[in-house]
């Protein structure tokens, strides 16, 4: 097992840090397990985690009710190895973090902007959650495969 001090830190950014980044954080942390520490933040945090994001994550066995909306500045003095943006605005306004080796952009629709009835909005949240799950589980599998190929015990 990798030494805890050596675990890479991955930061997932979006603008509001209320939906997509929290969904991605939870899914990626579970997929990577002890291999990495995963965080999320926003360039203009909403100040809350969207209740529908909490609800749709609970539907698939994740409890993100204890997450909080954070500003990316909280991480400027953290050795972030990888930054992943999940919205175009965060991608355009993403700062460089000291020690950052990797940057990826995986854009997703903002479910917080969904219109219609609560059920119609939940349908959008579920669709985005499922897209994020596919993308971030594949990303985690690739990282784990590369680490194993380089001789790291996971």
Spatial distance between the Cα atoms of 107 and 105, rounded to a whole number of angstroms:
6
**3-class DSSP assignment, residue 93:** coil
Catalytic residue (choose from 11, 14, 24, 72): 14
Asked if residues 11 and 75 have their Cβ atoms less than 8 Å apart, the reply is: yes
Spatial distance between the Cα atoms of 104 and 90, rounded to a whole number of angstroms:
11
**Residue located via tokens 């097992």:** 1
Catalytic residue (choose from 13, 23, 31, 87): 87
Look at residues 82, 129, 125 and name the one whose alpha carbon lies nearest to residue 104: 82
- Does 19 qualify as catalytic in the annotation? no
**3-class DSSP assignment, residue 1:** coil
Catalytic residue (choose from 94, 132, 135, 140): 94
**Residue positions annotated with a catalytic role:** 14, 87, 94
């Amino acid at each position: 097992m990798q030494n805890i001090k050596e675990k890479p830190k991955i930061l997932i950014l979006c603008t509001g840090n209320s939906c997509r980044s929290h969904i991605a954080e939870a899914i990626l942390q579970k997929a990577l397990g002890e291999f990495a520490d995963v965080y999320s933040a926003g360039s203009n945090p909403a100040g809350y985690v969207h209740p529908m994001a909490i609800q749709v994550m609970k539907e698939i066995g994740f409890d993100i009710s204890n997450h909080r909306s954070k500003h990316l500045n909280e991480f400027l003095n953290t050795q972030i190895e990888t930054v992943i943006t999940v919205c175009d605005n965060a991608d355009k306004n993403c700062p460089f973090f000291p020690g950052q080796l990797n940057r990826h952009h995986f854009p997703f629709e903002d479910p917080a902007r969904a219109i219609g009835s609560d059920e119609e909005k939940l349908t959008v949240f579920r669709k985005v959650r499922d897209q994020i799950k596919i993308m971030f589980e594949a990303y985690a599998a690739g990282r784990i495969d590369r680490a194993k190929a380089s001789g790291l015990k996971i």
